Chains A and B, each alone.
Chain A
Amino acid sequence: MQFGIFTVSDITQDPTTGRTPTEAERIQATLTIAKHAEEVGLDVFALGEHHNPPFWSSSPTTTLAYIAGQTSTLQLSTATTLITTNDPVKIAEDFAMLQHVSGGRADVMLGRGNTGPVYPWFGKDIRQGLPLAMENYELLHRLWREDVVDWQGRFRTPLQGFTSTPRPLDGVPPFVWHGSIRTPEVAEQAASYGDGFFANHIFWPASHTQRMIALYRQRFEHHGHGTAAQAIVGLGGQVFMRRNSQDAVRDFRPYFDNAPVYGHGPSLEDFTQQTPLTVGSPQEVIDRTLGFRDYVGDYQRQLWLIDHAGLPLKTVLEQLDLLGEEVVPVLRREFAKDRPAEVPDAPTHASLVAAKYGDQAPRQATPNANRGDNLAGPSPYQDAAPARVTTGSAFGPAATR
């Protein structure tokens, strides 16, 4: 099972000091947080995507590529990548690149986004959110699996003879999680492709997450990707810890009361009861987190939100220390107990390569020589059937003669 953190990249005033970090400070702080996540033994760092202040993460793969260069085991993911407003071609290219530079430590979590104006800013209509998510992903899925794609849809200019480069590392696309708070269609999408499903599990009650996951698992089995217990489930979560509960509640309350989204709404006590938010001792976090399994079954990935609402870097690093030293080691041990053998681990590049190639060497895409006919055959890569022998040029005036 994988444990990690995810961040939405908000730049929020610290309500206890009244100070708001600069963009530069917060970006550097996030890089520090990501590196420290690896240092304390966490497995995953996932980064959100936003296109408006007070958020900074407009280019997640740029950031994640830098973090990849500074780390060696950390799995890099997103939370989420906007499948609705990004061009699926660019997503295919960016994440294949991230796979290559990170040595296969990249996966991606797709979501529709929750900022209304992002749709019109990127030339889309929010009322088409679901159809965009469906069509764009269908194209993305093909771009990573087919060397040459001819494609036509409703939302993007058509493609004829398009090759997304670089080809995925070792011929294995990044693993895809589909993230959603409340949309059953997204659970169905994840299930139909045999992809992972990630439940936000922060803003909504556990009972809701339970139903989403149950639906995803049932549909995963229906689509023939394995048993319901073998579906790939990830959960969000939100924690704040001090050695003892009283200190945790006292220290977190001003951040909670002023937080974006839920600040000035319910009390910390009500929200803790109604959602998976846990504010308390490491032992309380352990107990609560182990309880997630009771309503979603054995799952593969647990990510926590620990750095939002203006929490200073020092406090966030302390949270990571507690997670790494006291919480995650116990969770690894306890989650492993009674875990049925059929329940898989979260897919990694290594496991996907092994699943696809067994003992064989994985594909290494090597382009044909860059001549006029390098795009004329079924594939521009050397391991495909040789190009049809043609005369003339693929481009330029000669091609039209």
Chain B
Amino acid sequence: MTGTTTTKRIVVVSSGLSTPSSTRQLADRLTADAVSILGGRGIEVEVEVFELRDLAHDITNNLLLGFAPPKLEQALDAVARADGLIAVTPIFTTSYAGLFKSFIDVIDSQALTDLPVLIGATGGTPRHSLAIDYAIRPLFTYLHAIPVTTGVYAATSDWGDGGDGVRSLPDRIYRGAREFADLVAATDRSNLVSDPFALDRPTGHLIGGLAGE
């Protein structure tokens, strides 16, 4: 880094359904660690948090209509222009929540390219922790995002004294946040994202690159 202050944009998506939700709690912990690590390196961070519960109707309408109502559009734009995404979902019936997947489904297939992602998941028992790796991670790699190797799974017991006694939840959160912060610090993504409708762009951007797959 040059030592100058650079503002990075982190978007947090939490797909918990109850209020308050442990999913949101995990999202907030991951965010706090990431922000503090980046802050320690002189990097300013802007954080935007989206609760998918608040967008549930909009997400369904987008699936049906093909366009995002205003509130959802804001969230989609924020994700597309982010330097990092912290994505946290409960695990339902062996996989991500349906609402979470529906949100991913309405994101433009190019919009997550090169986006650092920190995956979090919550569940009733630790026995579903691998869902992060067999279900959620492939979703992001398919979209050419960059999920960090540590995904953080918080079982109900992690919030009390029945959690992992060797690698505690705070340890795992810190490790994931650090890997994520490394990628966020290095990316220039939010400055590179281009708007296909922007005016006054150099000629040739529209019909160039149309040679097909």
Instruction: Write out the residue numbers on chain B whose beta carbons fall within 8 Å of the beta carbon of A130.
Output: 210, 212
* A265 touching B210 in the complex, CB below 8 Å, given contacts A184-B197, A212-B197, A218-B200: no
Q: Determine whether the beta carbon of A265 is less than 8 Å from that of B60.
A: yes
| Interface membership of B196, Cβ < 8 A | yes
Residues of B within 8 A of A266 (CB): 57, 61, 64-65, 69
Assess the A218–B199 pair: CB atoms within 8 A. Answer: yes
Q: How far is the CA of A73 from the CA of B19 in the complex (A)?
A: 63
| Closest chain B CB from A182 CB (angstroms) | 8
Q: In the complex, are the beta carbons of B70 and A274 less than 8 A apart?
A: yes
Please, which residue of chain A has its CB at the minimum distance from the CB of B57? A266
- In this complex, what residue of A is CB-closest to B195? A211
Given contacts A203-B65, A262-B65, whether A185 and B200 have CB atoms under 8 Å apart is no
A381-397 toward B: CB 8 Å interface, digit per residue (1/0)?
00000000000000000
Classify the interface of chain B: helix, strand, loop or mixed. Answer: loop
Let me know if B207 is at the binding interface, CB within 8 A.
Answer: yes
Q: A127-B212, A215-B197 are in contact. Are A265 and B206 (CB under 8 A)?
A: no
Contact B207 A265 (CB under 8 A): no
Bound form: Cα–Cα A379–B212 in Å: 35
CB distance from B76 to the nearest CB of A (A): 13
Q: Which of A128, A185, A208, A262 contacts B213 (CB 8 A)?
A: A128
Answer yes or no: A222 CB below 8 A from chain B CBs: yes
* A294 CB within 8 Å of chain B: no
Are A185 and B206 interface neighbours, CB within 8 A?
A: yes
Contact B210 A184 (CB under 8 A): no
Q: Which residues of A contact B211 (CB under 8 A)?
A: 131
Number of interface residues of B (CB under 8 A): 20
- For residue A83, give the distance in angstroms from its CB to the closest CB of chain B: 14
Q: A313 within 8 Å of B by Cβ?
A: no
Q: In whole Å, how far is B52's beta carbon from the nearest beta carbon of chain A?
A: 18
A344 interface residue (CB < 8 Å to B): no
- Nearest-neighbour CB distance to chain B for A205, whole angstroms, equals 6
Q: Is B65 a contact partner of A185 (Cβ separation < 8 A)?
A: no
Which A residues are in CB contact (< 8 Å) with B64?
Answer: 261-262, 264-266
Bound Cα distance A193, B114 (Å): 35
Alpha-carbon separation in the docked complex, A205 to B72 (Å): 13
Contacts of A215 in B (CB 8 A): 197, 199
Does B4 reach chain A (CB closer than 8 Å)? no
Instruction: Indicate if the CB atoms of A265 and B61 lie closer than 8 Å.
Output: yes
Cβ-defined contact, A134 with B210, below 8 A? yes
Check: B66 CB closer than 8 A to any chain A CB.
Answer: yes
The CA-CA distance from A127 to B64 in the complex, in Å, is 22
| Residues of A contacting B60 in the complex (Cβ-Cβ under 8 angstroms) | 265
Please report the C-alpha to C-alpha distance between residue A364 and residue B65 in the assembled complex, in whole angstroms.
48
Q: How far is the CA of A299 from the CA of B196 in the complex (A)?
A: 23
- B212 with A265: CB separation less than 8 A: no
**Closest-CB distance, A136 to chain B (whole angstroms):** 13
Residue of A nearest to B62 (CB): A265
Interface members, chain A 182-223 (any B CB < 8 Å): 184-185, 187-189, 192, 203-205, 208, 211-212, 214-215, 218-219, 222
In Å, the complex CA distance between A211 and B67 comes to: 15
A190 to B75, CA, bound (A): 31
Residues of B within 8 A of A204 (CB): 66-67
A192 touches B207 (CB 8 A): yes
CA distance A73 to B60 in the complex (A): 44
Establish whether residues A128 and B206, one from each chain, have CB atoms under 8 Å apart when the complex forms.
no
A185's partner among B203, B207, B212 (CB-CB below 8 A) is B207
Q: Is A270 an interface residue (CB 8 A)?
A: yes
23 CB contacts below 8 A, A to B, read A127-B212, A127-B213, A128-B213, A131-B210, A134-B210, A185-B207, A188-B207, A203-B65, A203-B66, A204-B66, A205-B70, A211-B197, A212-B197, A214-B197, A215-B197, A218-B200, A219-B206, A222-B203, A264-B64, A265-B60, A265-B64, A265-B65, A266-B61
B→A interface (CB under 8 Å): 57, 60-61, 64-67, 69-70, 196-197, 199-200, 203, 206-207, 210-213
Given contacts A184-B196, A270-B69, 14 further A-B contacts (CB under 8 A): A127-B212, A127-B213, A181-B66, A185-B206, A188-B206, A189-B207, A203-B67, A208-B67, A211-B197, A215-B199, A219-B206, A261-B64, A264-B64, A266-B69
